[in-house]
Amino acid sequence: MVLRRLMGSFGTGPKSPRNLSREEASQAFTAILNGSESDALVASFLVTLRWKGVTTEELMGMAMSARAQSRIPCMGMSGLVTVAPPQDGHDTIPPLEVAAGIVAAAAGARVLIVSDRCVPPRRGLTAANVLEGLGLSMTWDSTEAEDWITKAGFATVSVAGLCPPLLSLRKVRGDMIVRTPLSTLEKLIAPPGSAMLIGAQRGPVLGAAVEVLKGLGHRRGVALQGPEGSVVPFVTKRTRGIELDGDHLVSVTVEPADFGLDGSVEPELPLFGPAEEGQGSSDNPVLCQSASDTVQAVLAGEPGAARNATLLSAALMLKACGRCMTIAEGVDAATSALDSGAALERVARLRSLIA
């Protein structure tokens, strides 16, 4: 078995773990996706990677394997930005990447959100939950996603639709409870060469995330540490990020006050007690409706924290794909698209494609 052999080579202690080469990591993940390894071995392998710390080479190898087994849309499409929020969603904030993506599309970008629904261990709110409340939907079909982007500039596609073997890993992910490198890997299933806006969790992972994008052949992108690993910046404080611009990595700080978009509170959802075992925020219909209502209010022009956060995220999408040169220019373009009604018109166009 591939995993058993590779795990035997990791070493015996935390002070001197052996890292896998890119080729070994690719072999390991290919074996996982092919279903040739037991759930116990898969869980042990993923937890071991988390324990020792996954490297950029390992992530690149696993991403290359996943992409090779995926049906990826929009290959070679110019002006495309792929948005990669946490696939297991959010617990306390609405997934405003939907509003931001629609606004960025109305401002001239082509936006592909790679998302999913009910992904363990968090089973949080995702773009899929919000879209249903808007009368839209996430697609599992890469061809359909490309068609929507061609005609309306925006689509949300299921990462499990792009790479179906990921579905078989849901049970073991739920049983493990903790997040593993899978949570990072699935954000990397994207059209090669597209610009990227990728969410990153807290900790020293920003540089690694951008190094992986660069190693996979992307030339433009931003890794951002928004709330709960979101691609949407904070409005109550600065948000850290790193931009990939060709061969260069540049530190990015999003300071909402610089654009008049600061606030005293973050966009939030109603408070509920802990979900039942095996469930999460996405299983709560009240939270799903609240998240959709928040996005609908933003698109309708309602002022507040959600609007401000949406404009900042849309500006980053526009900057990442090269539509705007600076965040300030992106904020101006996003504001114009929202206030002119162009974003709402984009929603109507998307509904006509789905009908």
Report the alpha-carbon distance of residue 199 to residue 82 in Å, rounded.
11
160 close to 138: Cβ distance less than 8 angstroms: no
Q: Is 12 exposed, middle or buried (0-12, 13-18, 19+ CB in 10 A)?
A: exposed
Greatest CA separation for the chain: 61
Confidence at residue 204, expressed as pLDDT on a 0 to 100 scale: 67
pLDDT digits (tens, 9 = 90+) for 152-190: 999 999 999 999 999 999 888 888 878 888 888 999 999
Confidence at residue 15, expressed as pLDDT on a 0 to 100 scale: 61
Read off the pLDDT band of 294 (50, 70, 90). Answer: very high
Domains of the chain (ranges plus CATH)? 2-10+18-68 (1.20.970.10), 80-263+280-354 (3.40.1030.10)
Confidence at residue 236, expressed as pLDDT on a 0 to 100 scale: 97
The proportion of the chain whose per-residue pLDDT surpasses 70, expressed as a percent, equals 97
pLDDT digits (tens, 9 = 90+) for 312-342: 999 999 999 999 999 999 999 999 999 999 9
* CB burial string 112-127: b at 16+ within 10 A, e below: bbbbbbbbbbbbbbbb
pLDDT at 7 over 90: no
70 close to 32: Cβ distance less than 8 angstroms: no
pLDDT digits (tens, 9 = 90+) for 200-247: 987 767 788 899 999 999 999 999 999 999 999 999 999 999 999 999
Confidence at residue 146, expressed as pLDDT on a 0 to 100 scale: 97
For residue 198, what are the β-bridge partners?
A: 84, 223
In degrees, rounded to 5, the angle at the alpha carbon of residue 144 between the alpha carbons of residues 143 and 150 is 90
